[in-house]
Amino acid sequence: MSTNNDVNNDQYWEQFSILPTDLEHLANFFLETERPQTLAHLTQEVIRYRHQQMLKVAQEALSQGRIYRPGEVYEVGERVLFPHLNNLAGEVTRVRTGHNPEHEPFSVIQVQMDGGETREFAVELTQEHYLNTASYVPAEDVSVEELAARHGKRIQKALRVALETHGQFLAVAHQWFLRDLVMEISPVQLNIAEAVLYMKEGGPVRTEDILKEMELPQEISRPLQLFSLESALFRDNRFDEVGPAGYALWYLREQEPQEVRETPALLQYMPIPYNRSQLDAQMLDFERRIDDEWSDVAYDDVAEEPVTIVLIYPHWRSGTLPLAGRVSELFPTARITDRIRFTFEDGRTGETFPGWVVRSRRYVYGLGAWYEANDVGVGSYIDLRQGEDPGTIVVDLRHVRAQRREWLRTVTPTEERLLFEVTRVPVSCQFDELAAVAVNQPEAVDDLAAQLRRASLETLLEQAFSGLAGLSLQRAVHARSLYSVLNLLRRVPPAPVLAVLAGSTRYVSLGDNYWAYRGGE
């Protein structure tokens, strides 16, 4: 059970907002320590400062008079403090006998408040009353760590906003410092940094390793040297900060893979207007389970690992994964940088290779060679989980014991359309039967997609639907199959496709996300 003191403290911290005095304290804190600090550490410092201020203010206020307790005796001339009334205070001017059968015997004191008004209060009550034991001083034994654990997340968000809007403070990588105390890094020293990265094939290189090649004033502390160098690198367009795990890593922008600097053509999505109100609950649930990076879906639940992705054609061809939904929670997505260099680890062999998160364009790059080496196809299951080392993502397949041949939908491009058939195809890993498509001539498929780039979504959907329906005796087509095939011809998330199906008189829902031509066409 919480004490009154706990309640008072919780109310204080729950209503917490950053004040100018908090920022003044942090400025002085930086001047004293001369060290850049993380946002988490600054949050704890603000909590520590405020807690000390609470103790000081409470103690000073309580020293101004005797605290009002209904069970105690008071005399004329005494000063009384009323903390439960926002610290009102006054002097007792009269004591009289009280009259109330439910509470007798008791007395009443008349108090002349400092503001001029006169008020009366019951005293010498024999009944229990919470004000007799109420504590008005914050608990001195509570630790900053305890307060941070209970309230730090909310305070940290508020502090970030305050620091970002106040020109006195500067953020570099994952740390903050006073802008005016940052030392100047010369153009010659930045050229040295560029040379260091060139020798490392563009990067990534930690700031400490770049600093080793420079001669900076020894009277400047090493943490401040690092911060100043990182600040200068941030401002220079030659350099890109790509660190995934709480520290800065640097890369030369011109040396980054082209697929990181520019969105691969097959991943480029031109938004398609559609009426979202046409999507029913079943369609919205289907959209949520697809994990398409361009879906307008909020994911509030924490994904359980491994996270499984069903690979679609644009990502298969581009060597990428969608940065969407459950996947975006798994990969490092630092707030301060757009491109993040991390490490993939093969879940079966333990082999590692570089990967890139491109946050603004919603994809993860670096799997092309791995797809090819493992005979990954469109519709394959890709399992993802965080590795033991920070900044490492384990990527795995659901391997079959030995390569086998399976009956799969197969597409063959002609000059005007895709031809569909079912053929036996060698497979090395498990796949989603609804999404799997064998593509033997991907270059020709891409040429056909370029030729059809001006075709409407309705036209492409008609072509894909008729081809898929011809493979089924029931002539029924599942929405996942349609979504997978359409993405051979145009990058499109599931919602616009579902809206066309729902809004057209040509298609009828059969339930469970299956569709057919209306009237058995």
- Whether residues 113 and 165 share a domain: the answer is no
Confidence of residue 109 (pLDDT cuts 50, 70, 90): very high
Confidence of residue 210 (pLDDT cuts 50, 70, 90): very high
For position 318, what pLDDT does the model report? 96
Cis previous bond, 306, omega within 30 = yes
**What's the CA gap between 278 and 57, in Å, rounded?**
59
Confidence of residue 199 (pLDDT cuts 50, 70, 90): very high
Higher pLDDT, 244 or 21: 21
**What's the CA gap between 337 and 243, in Å, rounded?**
8
Q: What is the mean pLDDT of the chain?
A: 87
- Whether residues 437 and 369 share a domain: the answer is no
Closest CA to 478 of 308, 326, 283: 283
- Is the confidence at residue 520, as pLDDT, over 60? no
Q: Is residue 501 part of a domain?
A: yes
- Whether residues 251 and 302 share a domain: the answer is no
Beta strands in 242-391 (DSSP E): 249-252, 307-310, 320-322, 339-346, 352-358, 363-365, 381-386
CATH code of residue 206: 1.10.10.10
Q: Could you tell me whether strands 79-82 and 66-67 are parallel, antiparallel, or unpaired per DSSP bridges? A: parallel
- Whether residues 195 and 240 share a domain: the answer is yes
For position 136, what pLDDT does the model report? 60
- Whether residues 363 and 460 share a domain: the answer is no
**What's the CA gap between 384 and 309, in Å, rounded?**
8
Q: Is residue 278 part of a domain?
A: no
Q: Is residue 389 part of a domain?
A: yes
DSSP 8-state code for residue 68: P
Higher pLDDT, 92 or 15: 92
Structural domains of the chain, count:
5
Question: If DSSP codes are grouped into helix, strand and coil, which group holds residue 250?
Answer: strand
For position 395, what pLDDT does the model report? 95
Cis previous bond, 83, omega within 30 = no
Q: Is residue 275 part of a domain?
A: no
113-121: list long-range contacts, CB under 8 Å, 24+ apart.
113/88, 113/89, 114/88, 114/89, 114/90, 115/88, 118/93, 119/90, 121/68, 121/70, 121/80, 121/82
For position 303, what pLDDT does the model report? 63
For position 449, what pLDDT does the model report? 93
Tokens of 393: 């993502």
Three-class DSSP labels, 145-180: HHHHHHHHHHHHHHHHHHHHHCCCEEEECCEEEEHH
Tokens of 498: 């579902």
- Is the confidence at residue 106, as pLDDT, over 60? yes
HSE, side-chain direction, 13 A CA sphere, residue 266: 22
For position 2, what pLDDT does the model report? 35
Residue finishing a domain among 171, 190, 224: 171
For position 10, what pLDDT does the model report? 64
For position 334, what pLDDT does the model report? 60
Kindly report, residue by residue over 222-241, the tens digit of the pLDDT.
888 888 898 899 889 999 98
CB 94 within 8 A of CB 113: no
- Whether residues 40 and 89 share a domain: the answer is no
- Whether residues 395 and 378 share a domain: the answer is yes
- How many residues would you count in the chain? 521
- Whether residues 311 and 355 share a domain: the answer is yes
CB 46 within 8 A of CB 18: yes
With 0-12 / 13-18 / 19 or more C-beta atoms within 10 angstroms meaning exposed / middle / buried, residue 217 is exposed
HSE, side-chain direction, 13 A CA sphere, residue 255: 21
For position 473, what pLDDT does the model report? 80
Q: Is residue 308 part of a domain?
A: yes
Confidence of residue 262 (pLDDT cuts 50, 70, 90): very high
Dihedral of CA 457/460/463/464: which sign? negative
For position 139, what pLDDT does the model report? 58
36-70 burial string, b = 16+ CB within 10 Å, else e?
bbebeebbbbbbbbbbeebeeebeebeeebebbbb
- Is the confidence at residue 1, as pLDDT, over 60? no
Confidence of residue 130 (pLDDT cuts 50, 70, 90): confident
Q: Is residue 433 part of a domain?
A: yes
- Whether residues 356 and 416 share a domain: the answer is no
Confidence of residue 463 (pLDDT cuts 50, 70, 90): very high
- Is the confidence at residue 362, as pLDDT, over 90? yes
**What's the CA gap between 280 and 299, in Å, rounded?**
18
- Whether residues 354 and 467 share a domain: the answer is no
Q: Is residue 328 part of a domain?
A: yes
For position 322, what pLDDT does the model report? 95
For position 468, what pLDDT does the model report? 93
For position 5, what pLDDT does the model report? 43
In the predicted model, what is the mean pLDDT of residues 138-155? 76
What is the gyration radius of the CA atoms in the chain, in angstroms? Answer: 33
- Whether residues 121 and 154 share a domain: the answer is no
Q: Is residue 486 part of a domain?
A: yes
- Whether residues 407 and 382 share a domain: the answer is no
For position 493, what pLDDT does the model report? 95
For position 255, what pLDDT does the model report? 94
User: Which of 150-154, 209-213, 317-321 has the highest mean predicted lDDT (pLDDT)?
Assistant: 317-321
Question: Which range is least confidently modeled, 47-51, 307-311, 461-465?
Answer: 47-51
- With tokens 């062999």, the residue in question is 349
CATH code of residue 304: 2.40.330.10
pTM over 0.85: no
Residues ≥6 apart with Cβ < 8 Å to 24: none
Closest CA to 331 of 312, 303, 310: 303
Parent domain of 357: 288-401
